[in-house]
Amino acid sequence: GEGVGGGGGTLLEWEGQQIGEVFAYGMPLEQMDGAQYTLRRMPVVVLAIAAIICVILGGSFGTALVPLRAVVCITWMLVVAIGASVMVYQLGYLEFLGLEALAPAGGSLFWISPSVALAVLVGLGLDYDIFLMDSVMENWQEGKDGREAVIAALDQAGTIISAAGIIMFLAFGALLASTTPVLNQIGFMLCVGVLLDCFVTTKVTIPCLMALVPDDANFWPLKQSATRELAIGREPSFGLEGEISRDCPRLSSRGREEPERSPRGAEVASSHPEIGRDHASSPQMSTSRRPSCSLAVSRSLTPTL
């Protein structure tokens, strides 16, 4: 040509020189920008979620191992769910089935699929984990050891967790009936994650870990409550403001000392003197029973747990 930009010279002479900026706009480019930003921020989001899980579960259950174990189990569930999706939709392992919902689309996963599945699976995984651990802690406080507590918790909450998982599996499975590939991928990840969490993590992984780890580590630094100490046959320990006495007056529900009640026969004798004279020598009428053991504790007593 005669020149570029009216400056003269040929295209070969202008090659490699900056003559301006070129901008491209459109939906594909916006999706590329969104994918890059999302993937760049993903590690920060994952670390923030792990920190929030540790704070919430640690504050709720009062133990250090429960939140760490929950983070590990949820991470394992996410890795398996996303890995299975890569095998199906990127490598085409189930393409021989001839199902459109399980066929590779574009040769890779859509960037939005792992992001959506991450948020939903973390919420569901925590939900089922809290169901189980709440029952475990309740049984442990009643005096059972770690193995007995988790077995009883499975008996109490296992059916509820399984029913909830089946319901969510059916709900997420409806996404596989869609003709949109991104919805198929999200539905597949959610179905795999729910099945793993309901029937593997809560039924096998958590019980095995709690059975292998000693109780001191499972529930550390949580101290035994007075209810648990009484359940396992130990006397509860209190602070300096209270003491245990095996021969003490009975306390009412408000912490006040109740007056000793005389036997019914003594009340009758007081209203009928002639009966009192005849039965004055009876040990059943002249004596009153004191409680074998009760706790004489001031109202400001706070147990040392």
- Break the chain into its structural domains and give their ranges: 27-228, 237-259+293-305
User: How confident is the model over 17-25, as a mean pLDDT?
Assistant: 70
How far are the Cα atoms of 231, 255, 258 from residue 301, in angstroms, in the given order?
21, 10, 18
Q: How confident is the model at residue 20 (pLDDT cuts 50, 70, 90)?
A: low
- 204 pLDDT more than 60: yes
Position 162 scores a pLDDT of: 95
Q: Given this model, what pLDDT does residue 280 score?
A: 47
The more confident residue out of 105 and 244 is 105
CATH of 27-228, picked from 1.10.240.10, 1.10.3720.10, 1.20.1640.10, 3.40.50.2000, is 1.20.1640.10
Instruction: Render pLDDT for 131-148 as a digit per residue (tens, 0 to 9).
Output: 999 999 999 888 888 889
pLDDT attached to residue 141? 85
Give the count of beta carbons closer than 10 Å to the beta carbon of residue 169. Answer: 17
Q: How confident is the model at residue 24 (pLDDT cuts 50, 70, 90)?
A: confident
**What percent of the chain clears pLDDT 90, i.e. is strictly above it?**
45
Q: What is the rounded (10 degree) CA torsion for 154, 194, 204, 70? A: -90
The fraction of the chain above a pLDDT of 70, given in percent, is 66
SS3 294: strand
Is the pLDDT reported for residue 208 higher than 70? Answer: yes
